[in-house]
């Protein structure tokens, strides 16, 4: 769509929508997703394009835009996206719903990328402002679409909102084809020339759900570790292989029963260092699951919480144990096998595997919060103080725990915590830790899969 070193204008419209980490680029907010729908002069959709963007910070109100940190961690940064995006916009009238918001972020991100590409406000149209001419009632995108019968699916996704805005633009073009605003904007857009690199590296768009499209994280071990690192390859039986470091990493990762992407990377790296192939790691995981089942069975001591006789059925059906199994790449059959193995060992009076020290929060431990959480920061800090802990504004080597709105968070706090080896847990896991905490002893109560070690 352009010659060497310079873009060539193409008539029509480029409908843009952004999802961002907040409302102000001046306060450090960034673009997290961008979509473009190309529309011809008659309002017909020609093409569409979208990608997540790594904002290199936390994602802000994830409950609004629904973007997962695990997905944007795989996405390109805006400086890599910018050339392809600008080629799509070149020579076209830029259209957005609340264009002032989107163009403000585009200018900030383009400037940050070091690209000389001004966005002419005359070459932009705002479907929200145009609603004042052609529609009555609310100017919100959903309301405008409902008023004219435009489908608005995937609300608060960049592509869903861009498609809806393109549909709204098509309606405006149909009912007000003679409005002078179209020709004014077209003339301004026709005069835009952006100098871009003659050779641009290809950028593969990354879409929502990308982190779930790569199979289980253990697939990273399908290539023999010796081929990658020169480390000796261990057999499934793991003779003379020290798995202590791997198990300590696994304990910390499962503190919230979710193995985040950074935790997966650390586990894979340690497995390769120890010379463990996938079969060996899966064997370690089965042993780990059996130890958890044994701890749970020992805690029940042959009876359910209601006092009924228990032959292991309650443990076999324990959703927490199944949740852990899924994180470990195991399934329901592995859970059943772990419970049977644990019951057999108990009946044979075999001693349980000595547990590693449980993760506990002691009085005065510093706890840091990050991200846009489901409760207010003030509410969480009150609970932290009430538990005898110390809420802290930033991560240091003294930090005991980081509580994140998203355990895959890309925030500076999260990156620092991972660098220092500090556990990062979800709000739900932290709430459970607080609920189980005994302020008098400074220890958490509970056993089995609910008593994670570090």
pLDDT per residue over 200-230, tens digit each? Answer: 566 899 999 998 877 899 999 986 544 444 4
Q: How confident is the model at residue 454 (pLDDT cuts 50, 70, 90)?
A: very low
> How far apart, in whole angstroms, are the C-alpha atoms of residue 37 and residue 286?
49
CATH number for domain 13-191, candidates 3.40.50.1820, 3.30.420.10, 3.40.50.1110, 3.40.50.300: 3.30.420.10
Distance of CA 20 to the CA centre of its chain: 14
pLDDT at 401: 97
Confidence check: pLDDT of 239 > 50: yes
pLDDT at 453: 36
190 three-class SS? helix
Q: How far is CA 166 from CA 87, 206, 344, 429, in A?
A: 19, 22, 64, 42
What is the average pLDDT across 243-262? 93
Q: What backbone phi and psi angles, to 5 degrees, belong to 335?
A: -65, -45
Q: How confident is the model at residue 354 (pLDDT cuts 50, 70, 90)?
A: low
Whether 444 contacts 438, CB under 8 Å: yes
> How far apart, in whole angstroms, are the C-alpha atoms of residue 436 and residue 454?
16
Q: How confident is the model at residue 302 (pLDDT cuts 50, 70, 90)?
A: low
What is the average pLDDT across 117-125? 92
Which H or E run contains 321?
helix 319-327
pLDDT by residue (tens digit) across 123-137? 999 999 999 999 999
Short-list 195, 201, 204, CA closest to 2: 195
Pull the structure tokens for residue 367.
């706890």
Q: How confident is the model at residue 450 (pLDDT cuts 50, 70, 90)?
A: very low
Whole-number average pLDDT of the chain: 87
Pull the structure tokens for residue 34.
């961008």
Q: What backbone phi and psi angles, to 5 degrees, belong to 317?
A: -100, 5
Percent of the chain with pLDDT over 90: 73
pLDDT at 7: 53
> How far apart, in whole angstroms, are the C-alpha atoms of residue 343 and residue 296?
11
Strand 93-96 relative to strand 124-126: parallel, antiparallel, unpaired? parallel
288 three-class SS? helix
Its sign, for the CA torsion 275, 278, 280, 286, is positive
Q: Of 101-105, 235-239, 442-446, which range is least confident?
A: 442-446
240 three-class SS? coil
Confidence check: pLDDT of 5 > 60: no
Q: Please report, for the chain, the start and end positions of each structural domain, with discontinuous segments joined by +.
A: 13-191, 241-348, 366-444
Distance of CA 367 to the CA centre of its chain: 22
Pull the structure tokens for residue 152.
């608005």
What is the average pLDDT across 325-339? 95
> How far apart, in whole angstroms, are the C-alpha atoms of residue 16 and residue 431?
40
Q: How confident is the model at residue 373 (pLDDT cuts 50, 70, 90)?
A: very high
Neighbours of 27 (CB within 10 A): 8
pLDDT at 223: 62
Strand 31-39 relative to strand 13-20: parallel, antiparallel, unpaired? antiparallel
pLDDT at 194: 72
Q: How confident is the model at residue 311 (pLDDT cuts 50, 70, 90)?
A: low
> How far apart, in whole angstroms, are the C-alpha atoms of residue 52 and residue 207?
6
Query: Which DSSP string do the residues of 44-83 spell out, in sequence order?
Result: -EEEEEEEE-B-SS--S-HHHH---HHHHTTSPBHHHHHH
Q: Which residues contact 263 (CB under 8 A, 6 or more apart)?
A: 249, 252, 253
Up-side HSE of residue 92: CA atoms within 13 Å toward CB? 24
Q: Which residues contact 440 (CB under 8 A, 6 or more apart)?
A: none
pLDDT at 11: 79
Confidence check: pLDDT of 236 > 60: no
Pull the structure tokens for residue 368.
């840091």
Q: Which CATH superfamily is domain 366-444 in?
A: BRCT domain (3.40.50.10190)
Do the domains spanning 13-191 and 366-444 agree at the CATH topology level?
A: no
Q: Which residues contact 184 (CB under 8 A, 6 or more apart)?
A: 122
Q: How confident is the model at residue 447 (pLDDT cuts 50, 70, 90)?
A: very low
Confidence check: pLDDT of 370 > 70: yes
What is the average pLDDT across 296-325? 77
316 three-class SS? helix
124 three-class SS? strand
pLDDT at 309: 52
pLDDT at 199: 56
Sort 292 into a burial class: Cβ within 10 Å, 0-12 / 13-18 / 19+.
buried
What is the average pLDDT across 44-64? 96
Percent of the chain with pLDDT over 70: 85
pLDDT by residue (tens digit) across 62-84? 999 999 999 999 999 999 999 89
Q: How confident is the model at residue 240 (pLDDT cuts 50, 70, 90)?
A: low
> How far apart, in whole angstroms, are the C-alpha atoms of residue 409 and residue 413?
9
Region of residue 389 (phi > 0: left; psi between -120 and 50: alpha; otherwise: beta) = beta
pLDDT at 203: 83
Give a three-class secondary structure readout of 334-375: HHHHHHHHHHHHHHCCCCCCCCCCECCCCCCCEEEEECCCCC
Q: How confident is the model at residue 165 (pLDDT cuts 50, 70, 90)?
A: very high
Residue showing tokens 């944007």: 72
Whether 290 contacts 341, CB under 8 Å: yes
> How far apart, in whole angstroms, are the C-alpha atoms of residue 353 and residue 293?
11
Q: How confident is the model at residue 191 (pLDDT cuts 50, 70, 90)?
A: confident
Q: Of 72-86, 184-198, 288-302, which range is least confident?
A: 184-198
Whether 375 contacts 267, CB under 8 Å: no
Whether 366 contacts 398, CB under 8 Å: yes
């Amino acid at each position: 769509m352009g010659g060497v070193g310079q873009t060539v204008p193409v008539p029509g419209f480029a409908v843009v929508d952004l999802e961002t980490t907040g409302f102000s680029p001046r306060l450090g907010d960034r673009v997290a997703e961008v979509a473009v729908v190309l529309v011809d002069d008659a309002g017909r959709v020609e093409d569409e394009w979208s990608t997540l963007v790594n904002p290199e910070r936390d994602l802000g109100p994830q409950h609004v835009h629904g973007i997962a940190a695990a997905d944007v961690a795989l996405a390109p940064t805006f400086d890599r996206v910018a050339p392809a995006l600008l080629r799509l916009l070149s020579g076209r009238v830029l259209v957005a719903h609340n264009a002032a918001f989107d163009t403000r972020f585009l200018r900030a991100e383009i400037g940050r990328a070091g690209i000389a590409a001004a966005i002419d406000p005359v070459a932009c149209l705002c479907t929200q402002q145009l609603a004042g001419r052609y529609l009555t009632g609310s100017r919100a995108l959903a309301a405008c679409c409902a008023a004219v019968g435009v489908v608005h699916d995937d609300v608060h996704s960049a592509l869903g909102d861009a498609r809806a805005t393109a549909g709204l633009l098509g309606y405006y073009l149909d009912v007000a084809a003679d409005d002078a605003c179209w020709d004014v904007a077209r003339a301004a857009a026709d005069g835009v020339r952006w100098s871009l690199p003659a050779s641009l590296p290809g950028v593969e768009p990354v879409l929502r759900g990308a982190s779930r499209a790569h199979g289980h994280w253990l697939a990273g071990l399908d290539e023999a570790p010796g081929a990658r690192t020169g480390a000796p390859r261990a057999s499934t039986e793991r003779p003379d292989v020290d798995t202590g470091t791997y198990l300590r990493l696994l304990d910390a990762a499962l503190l919230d029963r979710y193995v985040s992407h950074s935790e997966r990377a650390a586990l894979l790296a340690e497995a390769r260092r120890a010379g463990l192939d996938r079969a060996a790691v899966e064997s370690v995981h089965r042993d780990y699951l059996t130890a958890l089942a044994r701890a749970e069975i020992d805690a029940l001591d042959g009876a359910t919480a209601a006092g009924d006789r228990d032959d292991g059925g309650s443990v076999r059906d324990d959703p927490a144990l199944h949740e852990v199994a899924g994180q470990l790449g195991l399934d329901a059959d592995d859970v059943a096998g772990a419970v049977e193995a644990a019951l057999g060992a108990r009946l044979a009076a075999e001693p349980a595997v000595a547990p590693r020290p449980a993760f506990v929060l002691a009085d005065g431990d510093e706890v840091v919060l990050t991200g846009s959480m489901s409760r207010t920061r003030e509410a969480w800090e009150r609970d932290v103080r009430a538990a005898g802990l110390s809420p802290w504004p930033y991560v240091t080597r003294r930090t005991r725990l980081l509580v994140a709105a998203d355990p895959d968070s890309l925030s500076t706090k999260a990156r620092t915590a991972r660098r220092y080896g500090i556990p990062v847990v979800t709000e739900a896991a932290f709430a459970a830790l607080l609920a189980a905490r005994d302020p008098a002893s400074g220890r958490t109560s509970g056993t089995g899969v609910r008593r994670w070690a570090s």
